[in-house]
Amino acid sequence: MDDVRTLESVFIKLVKNRRSVRRFRPDAIPREALEACVEAARLAPSAENVQPWRFLIVDDPALKDKLCASAFSGVYRFTQWAARAPVLVVLFAELDVLANRLGKRVTGIDYYLIDTGIAGEHFCLQAAELGLGTCWIGWFSPRGVRKALGSPRRLRPVALFAVGYADGDRVPEKKRRPLPEVMWYNQIP
């Protein structure tokens, strides 16, 4: 049991320390670190083992500028801060006919969103363990992403991650609801 508590404490510490970072140092990110993050994401579970996630690492400054100009314009301009991150990662979903399209018709659930969400969080937690800051970005233009990158229609942009070393040491305490407000046993109050 002591081994389990030790493992839990390491994991909980990682989860507690992971933050959404919006201010980054300009330092380059080693590709090995980015590959380690994608490796963690690659190991995530998925419905029917479809593994719909695809990651495009954008570390070329000219392409990153083009992506930001297209993805963060108009109503999405409030996300322009992400252009200052040294790396942007585009998380795509490649939809599978059986697990994604048929499954949604039967249950009404977009399983690819669950699958890519799990993989995306694996990516962010691995980044945190490596000392990298990330911010999961959902406020962007999917059409703008496709246009800037020339991505095929079979790939659906699900999220972007700003990745880099955090600028500053300030780590505010997370404000979360207490456990009894988010968990019940055996019945809904």
Q: Inter-axis angle of helices 142-149 and 61-71, to 10 degrees?
A: 150
Q: What percent of the chain has pLDDT over 90?
A: 73
* Count of C-beta atoms within a 10 Å radius of residue 145: 23
pLDDT of 1 over the 60 cut = no
- 23-74 pLDDT, tens digit each: 999 999 999 999 999 999 999 999 889 999 999 999 999 999 999 999 999 9
| Least confident interval from 10-14, 65-69, 105-109, 152-156 | 105-109
Distance of alpha carbon 23 from alpha carbon 84, whole angstroms: 7
Q: Which domains does the chain have, with CATH numbers?
A: 28-167 (3.40.109.10)
- Which helix (DSSP H) or strand (DSSP E) does residue 87 occupy? strand 87-94
